[in-house]
């Protein structure tokens, strides 16, 4: 009787991946920061009322801002009912390098100690790259995006929900 045995080295390597949770949080964070920068660069300190402003995006591209803003002097609260219409707006954070095209709302109220703002988009196109811990993941999609900001942030991006 002859018994043979052989061993084969497993050459497969598990490629590290980025979780959906991290991926969509990084996208949501970049969107929020981009929207806040668009507001701050174009409307902070500007007389309240009706607006129709065409401007550069924070890091490139174009944005048309339409709608109204009000300010309550008694309570120090700003209220917005705006639409940001973006075309190839670029935005970069430590983990995201994105380009945005489409319209989103910038609606709600905020002050130095209070935030209740939401951003809704029926068809936002997001293209770019998320990199975290030397792991990269591309995005090239369009669809519904909903972000609610208060003491926490909750975002639904193309059907995936993250909260922090």
Residue 6 maps to a domain:
no
The answer to whether residue 3 scores a pLDDT higher than 80 is no
> Tens digit of pLDDT for each residue in 21-37?
999 999 999 999 999 99
Query: Do residues 65 and 80 touch, judged by C-beta distance below 8 A?
Result: no
Structural domain containing residue 110: 20-163
Rounded CA gap, 93 and 29, in Å? 9
> Is the C-alpha dihedral spanning 120, 125, 130, 136 positive or negative?
positive
Are 111 and 89 within 8 A, CB to CB?
no
Select from 145, 85, 153, 150 the least CA-distant residue to 119.
145
Quote the pLDDT of residue 129. 98
Q: Report the predicted TM-score, pTM, of the whole model to 2 decimal places.
A: 0.91
Helix (H), strand (E) at residue 34: helix 20-42
In degrees, to the nearest 5, what angle opens at C-alpha 32 toward C-alphas 84 and 142? 65
**Residue 9 counted as domain residue:** no
Q: What tens digit of pLDDT does each residue of 48-94 get? A: 999 999 999 999 999 999 999 999 999 999 999 999 999 999 999 99
Cα 106 from chain centroid? Answer: 12
Task: Kindly state whether residue 7 falls inside one of the protein's structural domains.
Answer: no
Tell whether 13 is covered by a domain.
Answer: no
What CA–CA distance (Å, rounded) separates 147 from 121?
A: 9
- Number of domains the chain is built from: 1
The verdict on residue 2 lying in a domain is no
Rounded to an integer, the average pLDDT of 104-117 is: 97
């Amino acid at each position: 009787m002859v018994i043979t045995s052989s061993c084969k080295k497993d050459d497969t390597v598990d490629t590290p991946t980025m979780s959906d949770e991290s991926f969509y949080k990084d996208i949501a964070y970049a969107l929020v920061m981009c929207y806040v920068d668009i507001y701050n660069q174009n409307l902070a300190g500007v007389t309240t009322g009706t607006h129709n402003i065409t401007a550069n995006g924070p890091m490139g591209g174009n944005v048309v801002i339409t709608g109204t803003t009000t300010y309550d002097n008694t309570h120090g609260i700003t209220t917005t009912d705006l639409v940001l219409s973006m075309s190839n707006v670029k935005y970069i954070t430590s983990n995201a390098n994105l380009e945005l095209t489409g319209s989103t709302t910038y609606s709600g109220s905020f002050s130095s100690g209070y935030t209740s703002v939401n951003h809704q988009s029926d068809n936002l196109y997001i293209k770019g790259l998320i990199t975290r811990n030397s792991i990269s993941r591309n995005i090239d999609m369009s669809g519904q995006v909903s972000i609610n900001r208060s003491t926490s942030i909750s975002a639904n991006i193309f059907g995936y929900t993250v909260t922090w």
